[in-house]
């Protein structure tokens, strides 16, 4: 399977949490948590379409102002999703600045917060000096906070010392693999039309929908169904799970395993060594062994661990090794 999502940690595993995910062929990206963002270029930041905040501890939200400042002139809206209370917190952040010279600034900030059975949504416009519009409920069925024809992001609530910390699952709606050898055999030229072709397939367009195909001998028209049979096939979409700041409890473990089931990549915190489980319980974070174990139970193809406690900086690979050993060996962690 060719990758559709290209995730990378913005900072090293001891730095602020932030996962940047570039979406192939879409000119856009997603951001999971919003810690220090200074290592991202303005070009990379401006590709961000939506931001997903696990919770409002400072190391997960401190980069918001950097993002806001850069986005003030942006025409397209920016969506920010988070746990209950995130609308009020963003409103306070925005109210901390003076906005008397923003006439004509196009930015619209959409803030959504997870909830059961309905989430809440509010709009903040630069032209209104970021005064909050009246909030409204939105359908949060199955925890879905953000959805496009190509992918969706859903959230599950984890406990983090008595507050909600959201874990997120990013899933491609349907993976459409293009057979490059079939394109060459038929003289079809690759290009943007393939992105449109995939979009029509994902939307369930009629098999008779005509598609203009650039070819060596000139443009040709072919039905969607014929092209799907001759140059492509469909399969389960790519899946990335993001988990951080979760108490090391059985209830959280069950939710993490379900969220990350069959993920191509599980990005998960490994804050403490399992030898320090008592401290992990006090601080309400996962151990590296638990991170690897949950990944194996979920049948994730790969894991990427981060959010290490600074107490392990003198042995920076300890937590990575512990997590990978647990992930490959599958031994259930013991106290």
Asked whether residue 179 carries a pLDDT value surpassing 90, the answer given is: no
CB 41 within 8 A of CB 88: no
Residues 85 and 225 in one domain: no
Residues 219, 89 share a domain: no
Whether residue 185 sits in one domain with residue 148: no
Q: Residue 231 — very low, low, confident or very high, per pLDDT cuts 50/70/90?
A: confident
Q: What is the mean pLDDT of the chain?
A: 92
* Predicted pLDDT at 1: 61
Q: Do residues 163 and 114 both lie within one domain?
A: yes
Task: With respect to residue 297, please indicate whether it lies within any of the assigned structural domains.
Answer: yes
What gap in Å lies between CA 303 and CA 240, rounded to an integer? Answer: 10
Is the omega angle on the peptide bond into residue 117 within 30 degrees of 0, that is, cis? yes
Find the Cα–Cα–Cα–Cα dihedral 60, 66, 72, 78, rounded to 10°.
-30
**pLDDT value at position 330?**
65
Range in 107-111, 186-190, 262-266 the model is least confident about: 186-190
In a domain, 335, yes or no: no
136-139 β-sheet, strand order: 5-9, 19-23, 28-32, 48-52, 78-82, 108-113, 118-125, 136-139
- Are 252 and 218 in a shared domain? no
Q: How far is CA 203 from its chain centroid?
A: 22
Considering the domain architecture, whether residues 219 and 163 belong to the same structural domain is answered as: no
Which stretch of 45-49, 127-131, 179-183 has the lowest confidence by average pLDDT?
A: 179-183
Q: What number is the average pLDDT over the span 197-204?
A: 80
Same domain, 94 and 14: yes
Point out the domain boundary residue: 210, 235, 260. 235
Q: Is the pLDDT of residue 103 over 90?
A: no
Report the distance separating Cα 195 and Cα 203, nearest Å: 12
Bridge partner residues of 241 (DSSP):
169, 266
pLDDT band at 168 (very low <50, low <70, confident <90, very high): very high
Here the CATH number for the domain that contains residue 77 is 3.60.15.10
Q: What is the pTM of this model?
A: 0.88
**Taking 90 as the threshold, does the pLDDT of residue 257 lie above it?**
yes
Closest CA to 148 of 175, 172, 177: 172
19 and 116 co-located in one domain: yes
Q: Is residue 334 part of a domain?
A: no
Q: How many domains does the chain have?
A: 2
Instruction: With a cut of 80, say whether residue 233 has pLDDT above it.
Output: no
How far is residue 176's CA from residue 2's CA, in Å, rounded to a whole number?
9
Q: 296, 326 in Cβ contact below 8 A?
A: yes
Q: Which domain holds residue 324?
A: 5-173+237-329
Predicted confidence band of residue 133 (pLDDT cuts 50, 70, 90) = confident
Q: Are residues 186 and 251 in the same domain?
A: no
Residue 298 has pLDDT above 70, yes or no: yes
Is residue 70, in this structure, part of any structural domain at all?
Answer: yes
Going along the chain, which residue ranges are E strands?
5-9, 19-23, 28-32, 48-52, 78-82, 108-113, 118-125, 136-139, 144-147, 151-160, 163-172, 175-178, 210-213, 220-223, 232-235, 239-243, 265-269, 303-306
User: Are 78 and 134 members of one domain?
Assistant: yes
Instruction: Establish if 208 belongs to a structural domain.
Output: yes
Residue 335: predicted pLDDT = 55
Q: Is residue 149 part of a domain?
A: yes
Written as six digits, the tokens of 97 are 């600045």
Whether 191 shows a pLDDT value over 90: the answer reads no
Please state which of the ranges 103-112, 123-132, 210-219, 285-294 shows the lowest mean pLDDT.
Answer: 210-219
In a domain, 160, yes or no: yes
Question: Based on the domain organization, do 80 and 163 belong to the same domain?
Answer: yes
Distance CA 221, CA 203 (A): 20
Domain boundary among 208, 235, 262: 235
| SS3 state at 258 | helix
Band the pLDDT of 334: cuts 50, 70, 90.
low
Which domain-ending residue is among 206, 235, 264? 235
What's residue 187's pLDDT?
Answer: 84
Do 29 and 52 share a structural domain? yes
């Amino acid at each position: 399977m060719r990758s559709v999502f290209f995730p990378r940690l913005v900072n090293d595993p001891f730095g602020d949490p932030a996962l940047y995910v570039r979406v192939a062929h879409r000119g856009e990206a997603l951001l999971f948590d919003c810690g220090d963002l200074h290592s991202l270029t303005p070009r990379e930041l401006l590709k961000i379409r939506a931001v997903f905040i696990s919770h409002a501890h400072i190391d997960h939200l401190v980069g918001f102002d950097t993002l806001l400042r850069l986005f003030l002139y942006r025409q397209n809206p920016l969506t920010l999703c988070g746990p209950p209370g995130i609308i009020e917190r963003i409103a306070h952040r925005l109210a901390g600045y003076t906005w008397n010279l923003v006439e004509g600034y196009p930015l619209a900030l959409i803030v959504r917060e997870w909830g059961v059975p309905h989430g809440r949504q509010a709009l903040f416009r630069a032209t209104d000096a970021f005064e909050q519009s009246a909030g409204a409920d939105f359908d949060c069925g199955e925890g879905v906070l953000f959805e496009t024809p190509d992918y969706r992001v859903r959230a599950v609530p984890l406990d983090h010392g008595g507050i909600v910390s959201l874990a997120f699952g990013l899933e491609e709606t349907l993976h459409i693999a293009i057979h490059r050898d079939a394109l060459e055999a038929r003289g079809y030229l690759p290009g943007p039309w393939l992105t449109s072709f995939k979009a029509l397939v994902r939307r369930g367009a009629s098999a008779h929908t005509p598609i203009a195909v650039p070819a060596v001998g000139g443009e040709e028209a072919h039905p969607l169904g014929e092209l799907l049979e001759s140059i492509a096939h469909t399969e389960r979409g790519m899946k990335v799970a993001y988990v951080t700041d979760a108490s090391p409890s059985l209830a959280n473990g069950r939710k993490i395993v379900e969220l990350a089931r069959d993920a191509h990549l599980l990005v998960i915190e490994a804050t403490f060594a399992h030898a320090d489980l008592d401290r992990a319980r006090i601080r309400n974070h996962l151990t590296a062994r638990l991170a690897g174990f949950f990944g194996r139970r979920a049948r994730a193809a790969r894991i990427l661990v981060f959010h290490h406690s600074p107490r392990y900086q003198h042995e920076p690979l300890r937590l990575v090794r512990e997590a990978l050993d647990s992930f490959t060996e599958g031994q259930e962690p013991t106290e």
